[in-house]
Every structure is written in C-alpha cells, then in structure tokens.
Structure 1
Amino acid sequence: MATGGFFKGGTSIDIVAIIANSYDVDTVREAVKMYIVAKKKKGRSEQHIHEKLGKLEIKFKQIEAFHPAWRDARALFQIRKSDHIPMSIVRER
C-alpha cells in the first residue's frame, strides 16, 4: 500500500484518510487489517475493536465495493460480524 510512510494505522483518522482516498478494495482491506493490528498491539479488547470498526463502517457503509474488505479483516482476526455491513449482498436477477 502506497502511503508515503506516514500511515501508522492506529487511529481512526489514519484509516479514514486512507479509505476516503482509495478506489481499491485491497488497499482498504490492508488499511483495516493494519488498524486492527495497531489496536491489538495497544492491548484493546475484541469488544473495543468491534465498536471502533463499527463506527468506521458506518462512515463508509454506502460504498458497497469496500464491504468485502471489512468482512475479510474481521474474519481474519476472528472479530464478530459487523452490525452495519451485511454478510453478503444478494442481487435480484
């Protein structure tokens, strides 16, 4: 992820900046993973991380293309499912 070396991933401001300026789901996925890692390194509980992710997901839930990034990062770290991002999108034919 090209972040110019300043992205630490530990604050919501960091991740909001990356997601708001991204058009790539892989970049968003990596940013969310880095955010979770930063929270874990600080010793935050799973509940705390879940709540923080939820606040961020609310900001970006209208961008359906990024939903897999949120789901994948949560699954990777075994954080419970989002209250804001659907598990999957079923489209009518």
Structure 2
Amino acid sequence: MQAYRIESVHAISGTLTLVVKWRDGVEDVVDMTPVIQRSAPLRHLENHDLFSEVEVIDWGCAVGWRGDLGYGADTLHEQIRQQNMKAAG
C-alpha cells in the first residue's frame, strides 16, 4: 500500500470541507461532514472556527486540530476516493 503524504491543507470557509495538496502535487477536495458526524471525538469540529484551524502534522502523515484531534493521511485519501466514486455514480 502506498503511504500518502500531505503537503498542505486548508478549510473552505464556512464549510466542513478540506482542500488537500499531496506531496505528489495532486490537489483534492473532501467534505468531512460524514466523518465528523460519525465520530464522537471529531464532533467538536462541527464548529467552523475550530475546523478552519486545520494543519498538517506528523511530517505530512496526518491533518490535525487543537485538542489533539487528528485524521491520518491514508484514511483521508481513502475518504476522498470513496467520495469520488459516489460522485461518479
């Protein structure tokens, strides 16, 4: 399995959507709403101000927020793949 690494990340203002740039130069957009709603520890991220504080952590292996909230790069990449499959129909 390929290990995915994140170059940069930012939140789209007023949403629970991230723009992720991978180290290979590819840029993806991912709606984190379903993930946040399914995960009790991540529910704090429904606060858009907190969500917007996203940053790359662990040398590109994850994204994180204050309060030790994090989401791994490989899991994030899989979330993007699944959303793209649903969008393709």
**TM-score normalised to the size of structure 1?**
0.27
**TM-score normalised to the size of structure 2?**
0.28
Greater fraction of residues in helix: 1
Greater fraction of residues in strand: 2
Q: Greater CA radius of gyration, 1 or 2?
A: 1
